[in-house]
Structure 1
Amino acid sequence: MTSTHAGRDISVDIIRGIAIILVVLGHANRGQMETMAIAPASLQFLDFVVYAVHMPVFFFVSGYFTFVSLSKRKESIFLRSRISNIVWPYCLWSVIYCFVGHVMSSLTQVHHMVAWRQILLIGWQPISVLWFLYALFFMQIGAVLLWRRPVAILALSLVVDLAVAFVPSGMLPSIVVDIIVQAPFFYIGLLLAERGLPALPTVRQAGLWGTGILAVYGGLAYAMFEAHVGRPVQFVMLPVAFLGLLGLAFLSRAILRMHSLSFIASGLARLGQASLAIYLLHILVLALVPRMLHQMHVNTAAPALICGTLVGVAGSYALYLGLEKIRIARFFALR
């Protein structure tokens, strides 16, 4: 497998594949913690270390390719494309989550039921994981306005992120905070693209670098966790999160280059290419996991996490392939 295919950098697909697995793991872990009166520190740390890096990967990659898109077409055309690529999926899946949640509640326990009235509030209160599309839309609007000045917009995002650190908790809507704390990752991706740099760095011995950096990331994340800093993504966590992102970038390059890992590289790349579909579908698939675990008499955290992650990833991908086969995946905005 080469690093590019028809102009596509496969290592970017690989890092997205890794990130989407971490997304499913994170949600499976939170599902486990919600079943416990007091979640053990190990699960709380897993939640912290996963959430500190998985969504930053997606925002970083999105920022990079937003610049690439803007450099190839007019801003007005790019903005119109946001209707089909973001606004439509956002509205459609808001309705789907609400409808399917009510149906699934008759089959299994649904932790976060979506009331029908919440459909009327999606203009400022995203439902479930759809906050990502909501946040991405506003970041791309910012990019359209200042994409020729990436340093300025990155600096602005950092200043606002710092300012929010001093705002009392609960004073701002959660989606506003989510947009602000994730924006620096998006705009650093925009800046790298503007400078003509590759999305992921290329170095010799990428595997060694990746392993070392991720070890340091884990250590720093643990120190921050023990210091009770709160949110895993916030201004004080930026250096740690960027370190984790860099470690995953090197790891993705290393996986691509190693012929002995070609099967893993190919699988991760496919997951990365289908990451949006898996992201949208895994919430529905994970809702079935508690019932499955109960039937299998699985009551301990580690097997439940492994099962939840495997079912969430594989089940969502299989469902996506099925919808592709009957040619309705595009209707559901899954690609």
Structure 2
Amino acid sequence: MIEQGQTAAATLEPITSGKRSNIVDLVKGLAIILVVYGHTAQGAEHRGWWTGPGMAISENFIYSFHMPAFFFVSGLFVLGSIRRRGAGDFILDKVKTILYPYLLFAVISATLGPAIGRFQVSYSPFHWKTFLMNVADGSVSWFLFTLFFCLLVALLTARLPNWLRFLLAVVVAISPAYGSYIMNRVQWEFCFVAAGMWVGNQIFQLERVPKWMAAIGFVLVAAFQFAATYFYGYPNRWTFIGLGLTGTAALLLLARVLENHRVGVALVWVGRASLAIFLLSAFAQGATRAVLSSLFHTNNLWLQLLLPTAFATVLPAIVWYQQDRWRLGWLFHWPF
């Protein structure tokens, strides 16, 4: 139950649930900014505003770890959540906080499609059959749908030893892809959830690591990550697990360095609103891009990268923290 005086924004854990950790929230803040930036950069590329090797290097580096980091932190407190809630309430909670916003925003996006389609690089007219098939296979918003099923797999494997769960997840992940799109996504991403489950509450030991040591570790791991993606390109079937975990480790070390710093405090603020940013960023991003192009008549790359990324991060976060005052909680979780 929510104690009197607490807001939904203060008590709901976006995307994952469990004991509150500033370091974990900070990692989510860093990762969601990279998600928004990655989508902004892809929009610039599709419009021909950013071409050349710089785009590929940026994309390969970011996409080697920013989504694995989300799956990893989503697994950290899963076992504790299952023990507290029990299987039935655990599933119900994930339906309300993950599957519900996935379905809701699929409907919202389809409804707004005709109005915002002219601002998109490509737009396909609405067809019920296509819409329902996209919803069913997770392609409307693959992350939330994949996360939901990964957490169900976590529930089914909760009694396994942590090392065995992770080993099986790795074997499945590097096996040839099969089945539907969503099955393949779960096949590839569950290993990061399993890694988070293995670490669990030990993540709090990171708070004891001296910041100077964390800074050195971050520089070394980040340099390795950049070199690996620079020389070998986008992670493949055999390298994506290792690079996903090393990139996540770099984010965790950076989070420790920034913890309690004013920059870190701001990133914690962003991280706690990560669900709202994930769901709403595309609208704020597209609106900012349209204003820059139509009103200010500029396609300057830096403006088109930085301003849409900034507005698509901050505006949804404001909505998250004002959801009670503005009666918008139903956007992010089942209202009943």
Asked if Structure 1 and Structure 2 have the same fold, meaning a TM-score greater than 0.5 normalized by the shorter chain, the answer is yes
Q: Which residue of 2 is the match for residue 48 of structure 1?
A: 60
* 2:286–2:308 contact (8 Å) kept in structure 1: no
Check 1:174–1:320 CA distance in 2 against 1; reply closer, same or farther (3 A cut).
Answer: same
Check 1:45–1:17 CA distance in 2 against 1; reply closer, same or farther (3 A cut).
Answer: same
Q: Which residue of 1 is the match for residue 202 of structure 2?
A: 197
* 1:277–1:334 contact (8 Å) kept in structure 2: no
Cα displacement (A) at 1:223: 1.6
Confirm or deny that 1:98 pairs with 2:105.
no
Confirm or deny that 1:241 pairs with 2:244.
yes
What secondary structure does 1:180 align onto? helix
2:185 to 178, 184, 197: 178
What secondary structure does 2:244 align onto? helix
* 1:139–1:186 contact (8 Å) kept in structure 2: yes
What secondary structure does 2:76 align onto? helix
Counterpart amino acid of 2:221? I
Q: Which residue of 2 is the match for residue 218 of structure 1?
A: 226
Give the structure-1-normalised TM-score. Answer: 0.85
Check 1:124–1:200 CA distance in 2 against 1; reply closer, same or farther (3 A cut).
Answer: farther
Cα displacement (A) at 1:38: 8.3
* 1:98–1:116 contact (8 Å) kept in structure 2: no
* 1:32–1:301 contact (8 Å) kept in structure 2: yes
The answer for unaligned runs of 5 or more in structure 2 is: 1-17
Give the structure-2-normalised TM-score. Answer: 0.84
Mean Cα displacement is larger for which, 291-300 or 270-279? Answer: 291-300
What secondary structure does 2:220 align onto? helix
Check 1:116–1:95 CA distance in 2 against 1; reply closer, same or farther (3 A cut).
Answer: farther
Identity across matched positions, percent = 24
What secondary structure does 1:105 align onto? helix
Cα displacement (A) at 1:7: 5.6
Q: Deviations over 1:245-277 (max 9, x none)?
A: 1111011011015xxxx3211111011000001
* 2:29–2:268 contact (8 Å) kept in structure 1: yes
* 2:69–2:244 contact (8 Å) kept in structure 1: no
Check 1:234–1:300 CA distance in 2 against 1; reply closer, same or farther (3 A cut).
Answer: farther
For the residues of structure 2 that align with 1:334 and 1:86, how far apart are their CA atoms? Answer: 8
* 1:147–1:190 contact (8 Å) kept in structure 2: no
* 2:23–2:259 contact (8 Å) kept in structure 1: yes
Cα displacement (A) at 1:27: 0.2
Check 1:43–1:276 CA distance in 2 against 1; reply closer, same or farther (3 A cut).
Answer: same
Q: Which residue of 2 is the match for residue 284 of structure 1?
A: 283
Check 1:147–1:173 CA distance in 2 against 1; reply closer, same or farther (3 A cut).
Answer: same
Q: Which residue of 2 is the match for residue 3 of structure 1?
A: none
Q: Which residue of 2 is the match for residue 78 of structure 1?
A: 90
* 1:70–1:78 contact (8 Å) kept in structure 2: yes
* 1:26–1:50 contact (8 Å) kept in structure 2: yes
Cα displacement (A) at 1:278: 0.5
Q: Equivalent residues in 2 for 1:1-335 (5 A)?
A: 8-36=20-48, 39-105=51-117, 108-109=119-120, 111-113=122-124, 115-117=126-128, 118-128=130-140, 130-149=141-160, 150-164=162-176, 173-193=180-200, 196-198=201-203, 201-202=206-207, 203-204=209-210, 205=212, 206-225=214-233, 230=234, 232=235, 234-257=237-260, 262-294=261-293, 295-328=295-328, 330-333=329-332
How many residues in Structure 1 have an aligned counterpart in Structure 2? 311
* 1:154–1:184 contact (8 Å) kept in structure 2: yes
